[in-house]
Amino acid sequence: MGKVTATYLVHDKKGNLNKKAEDIALGLTVGSWTNLPQLEKDQLEKHKGTVESVTELESDSAADQYLGSSRTKGLLKISYPAANFSPDLPAILTTVFGKLSLDGEIKLVDLELGKSLAQQFPGPKFGVDGIREKLDVYNRPLVMSIFKGVLGKDLEFFKEQLRQQSLGGVDLVKDDEILFENPLTPFEERITAAKQVLSETETITGEKTLYAVNLTGRSRNLRDKARRAVELGANALLFNVLSYGPDILQELAEDKEISVPIMAHPALAGAAGSSALYGISYSVLLGKILRWSGADLGLFPSPYGSVALKREEALGISNALTEESAVHRAAFPVPSAGIHPGLVPQLFSDFGINSVINAGGGIHGHPDGAAGGARAFRQAVDAAVSGVSLDVAALTNKELGTALELWGGVAAK
Amino acid sequence: MGKVTATYLVHDKKGNLNKKAEDIALGLTVGSWTNLPQLEKDQLEKHKGTVESVTELESDSAADQYLGSSRTKGLLKISYPAANFSPDLPAILTTVFGKLSLDGEIKLVDLELGKSLAQQFPGPKFGVDGIREKLDVYNRPLVMSIFKGVLGKDLEFFKEQLRQQSLGGVDLVKDDEILFENPLTPFEERITAAKQVLSETETITGEKTLYAVNLTGRSRNLRDKARRAVELGANALLFNVLSYGPDILQELAEDKEISVPIMAHPALAGAAGSSALYGISYSVLLGKILRWSGADLGLFPSPYGSVALKREEALGISNALTEESAVHRAAFPVPSAGIHPGLVPQLFSDFGINSVINAGGGIHGHPDGAAGGARAFRQAVDAAVSGVSLDVAALTNKELGTALELWGGVAAK
């Protein structure tokens, strides 16, 4: 059945990283070892955790000062036999970072599943290739936009906003993650309205648009609600996975009747991901875990907006969603927040062709409205893919020119 | 329908806390306000977030130094109309700390539900009073112990360990949280074996013992698994709630057929709770949210062991679990980790009569075995409740004397 291997970043008080690693490897598995009788050792051998490596890092004086004592910084890599837990994420997370998460300055920075264990997880049902097939778009990053200000507005407002975004050429539109079940734009009515609008715009543009409706409510109802959404013609789902738990995402991904891509929103991720000393790294939290659980698209803050991750964190998530795997399809990385057309070359350079350019204000705030905003993004994407500078592209692309005037252009580093 | 009120601790770069609070209150609800036409204002008024208070705190030079710039530290209290979300925790958490959790140095330190909203949550099904009734113990803190080293051992080992703990007089015994479904001690067999052992020990001691079996596996199976556990005679459940999500705990608590107390384990809580700058305070994470969701007992690290919380954090959790509420029963606080009999007066002084004294090594490491360890705890509890010092009590209580010799005694501060 294999094993799971966790890597921890520690800022340790006691200074003996080898002992700390050994204490963790035993403490989270068989408890103790050295003084056990041979008979018990034989019995427990297959359950014993293993220290894979211990790497001392250069000490971090800023952290030491903040923590008020000199610490030994290092990476501890420890593996846990799969015989110890059931093959589900709640069991794995409880094993590798349950009690341990409470034990001082320790951060879970990587998590690897052995192949047989990885095969217990579905991964994306569609992923990059499946979504490209649905959209029939293969040669560029996708463009996505976000509904703005639907809360408190009626279905006509919703429909008109969707129409404009789709006419402008976005590939995907998502609900705002804080739009829940409500009397003005109920879940089922948003789906049927969107289906009608998007079939109209497709006849005009010749392009498909996926609308990710926000799947919300009590856990027990999600599966049926998602199935019902698909029956009604929904073509994608948005899901606030961390406010439910990754196992719930996995259940949705495993359900064959929920035959549409699932977009994972990073809501709440900052609670565990923000600290350099504690918690779970974003590449694990928003990358690996969400891909294993079956997210087809994973949103995260880009390094460039007002709500921003560090560049290496954003790239770490993107890498985790897309890196070569013999088991799981690649998921689309969706760097988000504060994106305007001028950032497209940088995003393309960072995240590559298999990524999604996602904007809210950068679409809706365009002087020519959401349709103009969407066109400006498509123009910027075409320029980036062709290696044409935005300034040059703007000469023959009006909406892009307007966007660059408003927000400026950023050359890729 | 009321509102939810969140309090955030911020270390803000820009120095204008009032503006920051206003930006949050609008940004997480209606988006913008000042420049809206009156018609839209009328339409959106009931969805608009409200800044309840802004309190600047003394600046924290250690944090400033660590963060590399001078920050304005403060508490922002913001309320969100319940009209904006469905009355479930995933929606509430996404609303108050979804995107916001990713926005720099911000920590969710308090969360309050208006009464009508609070009534949407079950709270503990049994709580302090219900568990006392089950045990017929009213006049002292309860004593609990933890199985040790069951992983890789067979059912006979499990039964003998349970017997010793119960004979010594513990009120509750819990599985290790890292004991999952396994061939040597399967879930259902642990339940039936425990039922038999505990009915035998009850005839000897005249006292009941609750055994909290670890409810694990895939989310979709938990309800049926818990119901089956109850049918088989389980009298309590242990649940790693944060590796699933609080809504799953709530579903278990709401199920009338799951008619046994649920003990919430704090596994993973450190990921969001450890940092002073980011995440969610323990009083919210392990206190309020778990009580609303229906935990009857809430475990957390005591301030006194090797894995320890700050004293004010531990007291904050305990207070959140027990404070007067017109809506929800009080849950038992269970300060844990590194507890030995010598700490009982301090724990009694901190957490009061309605708490659970919980030990692993402090029970099993007793020279007279687990039964002796349990007796030492019961003796220490009786002494603390009667206001007798442990030293005096040890004169007539052999096991307590042995424990104090080994671990020492700590007078309550």
Name the β-bridge partners of B236: B212
Q: Which residues of A touch B275 (CB under 8 A)?
A: 274-275, 277-279
pLDDT tens digits in sequence order for chain B, 413 residues long:
699 999 999 999 988 999 999 999 999 999 888 888 898 898 899 999 999 999 999 999 999 999 999 999 999 999 999 999 999 999 999 999 999 999 999 999 999 999 999 999 999 999 999 999 999 999 999 999 999 989 999 999 999 999 999 999 999 999 999 999 999 999 999 999 999 999 999 999 999 999 999 999 999 999 999 999 999 999 999 999 999 999 999 999 999 999 999 999 999 999 999 999 999 999 999 999 999 999 999 999 999 987 889 999 999 999 999 999 999 999 999 999 889 999 999 999 999 999 999 999 999 999 999 999 999 999 999 999 999 999 999 999 999 999 999 999 876 66
Residue A15 annotated as binding? no
Structure tokens given for B259: 């008619």
Q: How far is B242 from chain A (nearest CA, A)?
A: 8
For position A334, what pLDDT does the model report? 98
Q: How far is B354 from chain A (nearest CA, A)?
A: 24
What does the pLDDT look like over A218-268, one tens digit per residue?
999 999 999 999 999 999 999 999 999 999 999 999 999 999 999 999 999
For position B413, what pLDDT does the model report? 67
Question: Which amino acid is residue A152, in one-letter code?
Answer: G
CB contact under 8 A, A151 and B97: no
| Position A213 pLDDT exceeds 80 | yes
Residue A362 annotated as binding? no
Q: What CATH topology corresponds to B127-407?
A: TIM Barrel (3.20.20)
Chain A interface includes B46 (CB < 8 A):
yes
Closest residue to B65, CB basis, from A65, A244, A301: A65
CB contact under 8 A, A278 and B271: yes
Distant-in-sequence, close-in-space partners of A256: CB < 8 Å, separation ≥ 6: none
| Position A183 pLDDT exceeds 80 | yes
| Position A325 pLDDT exceeds 90 | yes
CB contact under 8 A, B98 and A240: yes
Query: What mean pLDDT is predicted for residues A140-152?
Result: 95
Question: Catalytic residues of B, which ones?
Answer: 99
For position B92, what pLDDT does the model report? 98
Q: Which residues of B touch A219 (CB under 8 A)?
A: 90, 219, 245, 247-248, 251
Cα–Cα distance measured from residue A285 to residue A110, given in angstroms and rounded to the nearest whole number: 9
Cα–Cα distance measured from residue B24 to residue B12, given in angstroms and rounded to the nearest whole number: 13
Q: Which residues of B touch A267 (CB under 8 A)?
A: 93-94, 97-99, 101
Task: Give the H/E segment covering residue A5.
Answer: strand A3-12
Distant-in-sequence, close-in-space partners of A24: CB < 8 Å, separation ≥ 6: A8, A49, A76, A78, A100
CB contact under 8 A, A220 and B62: no
CB contact under 8 A, B84 and A267: no
Mean pLDDT, chain A, rounded, equals: 96
Q: What's chain B's Rg over C-alpha atoms?
A: 23
- Residue pair B130/B329 in contact (Cβ under 8 Å)? The answer is yes
Pairing of strands B50-56, B142-146: unpaired
Structure tokens given for A119: 């095969």
Cα–Cα distance measured from residue A173 to residue A176, given in angstroms and rounded to the nearest whole number: 10
CB contact under 8 A, A244 and B245: yes
| CA atoms within a 13 Å half-sphere pointing along the CA-CB vector of A237 | 30
- Residue pair B359/B302 in contact (Cβ under 8 Å)? The answer is no
Domain spans in chain B, listed from the N-terminal domain onward: 3-118, 127-407
Size of interface A-B (CB pairs under 8 A): 247
For position B306, what pLDDT does the model report? 78
What does the pLDDT look like over A27-45, one tens digit per residue?
999 988 888 889 889 889 9
Closest residue to A151, CB basis, from B30, B266, B272: B30
CB contact under 8 A, B102 and A274: yes
Cα–Cα distance measured from residue A88 to residue A68, given in angstroms and rounded to the nearest whole number: 38
Taking 3-state DSSP, the helix, strand and coil percentages for chain B, each rounded to the nearest 5, stand at: 45, 15, 35
For position B387, what pLDDT does the model report? 96
Chain B interface includes A268 (CB < 8 A):
yes
Q: What is the DSSP letter of A283?
A: I
- Which of A110, A40, A117 has the alpha carbon at shortest distance from A84? A117
A 320-359 near B (Cβ less than 8 A): none
For position B411, what pLDDT does the model report? 66
Structure tokens given for B238: 């242990």
Q: Which residues of B touch A27 (CB under 8 A)?
A: none
- Which of B183, B181, B147 has the alpha carbon at shortest distance from B165? B147
> What are the E-state strand segments in A57-134?
72-81, 106-113
Q: What's chain A's Rg over C-alpha atoms?
A: 23
- Residue pair B52/B96 in contact (Cβ under 8 Å)? The answer is no
Q: Which residues of A touch B28 (CB under 8 A)?
A: 178
Cα–Cα distance measured from residue B181 to residue B275, given in angstroms and rounded to the nearest whole number: 33
For position B40, what pLDDT does the model report? 87
What does the pLDDT look like over A348-381, one tens digit per residue?
999 999 999 999 999 999 999 999 999 999 999 9
- Which of B159, B363, B333 has the alpha carbon at shortest distance from B263? B333
Closest residue to A65, CB basis, from B66, B151, B269: B66
For position A14, what pLDDT does the model report? 87
CB contact under 8 A, A151 and B220: no
CB contact under 8 A, A274 and B271: no
Question: From B98, which residue of chain A is nearest by alpha-carbon distance?
Answer: A267
Q: How far is CA A339 from the centre of its chain?
A: 17
Closest residue to B98, CB basis, from A85, A152, A267: A267
Cα–Cα distance measured from residue A226 to residue A234, given in angstroms and rounded to the nearest whole number: 9
For position A413, what pLDDT does the model report? 67
Quick count: other Cβ atoms within 10 Å of Cβ B178?
24
Structure tokens given for B107: 């920590």
- Residue pair B216/B178 in contact (Cβ under 8 Å)? The answer is no
Residue B98 annotated as binding? no
Q: Which residues of A touch B94 (CB under 8 A)?
A: 177-178, 240, 243, 265, 267-268
Q: For the structural domain made of B3-118, what CATH number should be given?
A: 3.30.70.150
pLDDT band (50, 70, 90) for residue A1: low
Residue A42 annotated as binding? no
Residue B265 annotated as binding? yes
- Residue pair B76/B24 in contact (Cβ under 8 Å)? The answer is yes
How big is the CA angle at A125 (ends A384 and A263), to the nearest 5 degrees? Answer: 55
- Which of A218, A234, A134, A181 has the alpha carbon at shortest distance from A226? A234
Query: What mean pLDDT is predicted for residues A316-337?
Result: 97
Q: Which residues of B touch A214 (CB under 8 A)?
A: none
Q: Which of A46, A99, A115, A310 is catalytic?
A: A99
Structure tokens given for B366: 């007793």
Long-range contacts (CB closer than 8 Å, 24 or more residues apart) made by B17-24: B17/B54, B17/B56, B17/B72, B17/B74, B17/B76, B18/B51, B18/B54, B20/B76, B21/B51, B21/B54, B21/B76, B21/B78, B22/B51, B24/B49, B24/B76, B24/B78, B24/B100
B 90-119 near A (Cβ less than 8 A): 90-91, 93-95, 97-106, 108
- Residue pair B291/B127 in contact (Cβ under 8 Å)? The answer is no
Q: In what order do the strands lie in the sheet with A72-81?
A: A50-56, A72-81, A3-12, A106-113, A279-280
Cα–Cα distance measured from residue B174 to residue A161, given in angstroms and rounded to the nearest whole number: 54
User: What DSSP assignment string belongs to A311-359?
Assistant: HHHHHHHHHHHHS--SSS---EEEEESS--GGGHHHHHHHH-SSSEEEE
CB contact under 8 A, B181 and A244: no
Q: Which residues of A touch B101 (CB under 8 A)?
A: 267-271, 274
Question: From A148, which residue of chain B is nearest by alpha-carbon distance?
Answer: B31
